[in-house]
Structure 1
């Protein structure tokens, strides 16, 4: 039996696992092809040898009630990294606003396990959020923003991020119920968009996930 199967609560495999050793498991979530050939995917040990569909089903039972939205007017390469972070922090869904196509390289295949919706315009996205009664929390260092260290994130919300460089569009800022900035202490005006997204998601986790 593989290390992943014998102790799924401990992360032991960083480069994948080889073919399953010994008698194959019979549970339906296992993928026969992966059992035979090995599993080199970028997944936690708990999901080694599981089929992609089974992983998505299991994730759906544990996703957090926050969403992530990203404006995509300039084909920002950070979107893939933000999707990867959204998967890592258990976001419900990622919303891409603007161009439907985006560079998936930074996602490291996590987009296959993450729900992703496309909205043509900010207005379309805002209408969707209103239908689901989800407040939009814009993350940007613009006038009127409050610092993230003092902000109480709603449990159900959408964290909205802009493009690397220009940040959020004026329409996106206007659509937000709250505007939050990440405190900075150096000379740079702004941090990398994907880094800012990870900081904001982790701030939500600190407020709403119990670690006791």
Structure 2
């Protein structure tokens, strides 16, 4: 008998995404890496040619107008993992991914809001000098999760 609570899940999304093309690429990666759902906060997803796998039709997509609306609707038992270049963030290389979590990325030009950083259960970062494209950063986080879950 399979215990679904032991298997875990994850969702991934962007707060105030800058370009719709980045969202389409992130959603495609999310579908390939086993995400349970995708979401946006602030700017809404628009169908993109780069989403060739039609990820938004293959997994649940949620949109929240504000961070507070998003935060009040986190799945029960899920921990919020903010992906941010911040001095308090843990290096991804040593980060232990929660079984049940939601990854939140910020726009390339502004990052996560202060409220999102403060409310995150964990913050993770990469060993890079400058910030990464949001779809690249999200794909790296999901790939790291997949590698470490084996």
- Shorter-normalised TM-score: what interval? 0.7 to 0.9
SS at 1:105 equivalent: coil
> How many correspondences in the alignment?
143
**1:115 aligned onto 2:60:** yes
Find the aligned partners of 1:96 and 1:106 in 2 and give their Cα distance.
17
Residue 84, structure 1, aligned to residue 25, structure 2: no
**Cα RMSD between the aligned structures?**
1.9
Q: Is the 8 A contact 1:78 1:164 kept in 2?
A: no
- Give me the whole-angstrom Cα distance separating, in 2, the residues matched to 1:124 and 1:201: 24
Say which of 149, 153, 173 aligns to 2:93.
149
Give secondary structure in 1 for the equivalent of 2:50: helix
Which has the bigger relative contact order, CA under 8 A and spacing at least 6?
Answer: 2
1:96-111 superposed matches below 5 A: 96-102=40-46, 104-108=48-52, 109-111=54-56
Cα distance in 2 for residues equivalent to 1:154 and 1:160? 14
- Output one character per residue of 1:137-167: Cα deviation in whole Å (capped at 9) or x when no partner: 0011112111000111101100111112221
Which structure 2 residues correspond to residues 18-37 of structure 1 after superposition, within 5 A?
none
Cα distance change of structure 1 residues 116 and 146 upon mapping to structure 2, 3 Å threshold: same
Scaled by the length of structure 2, what TM-score is found?
0.86
- 2:15–2:41: 8 Å Cα contact kept in structure 1? yes
The structure having more radius of gyration, on CA atoms, is 1
Query: 1:176: which partner in 2?
Result: 120
Structure 1 gap ranges (5+): 1-62
Could you list the runs of 5+ residues in structure 2 that have no partner in the other structure?
A: 1-6
Instruction: Find the residue that maps to 1:203 and give its secondary structure.
Output: helix
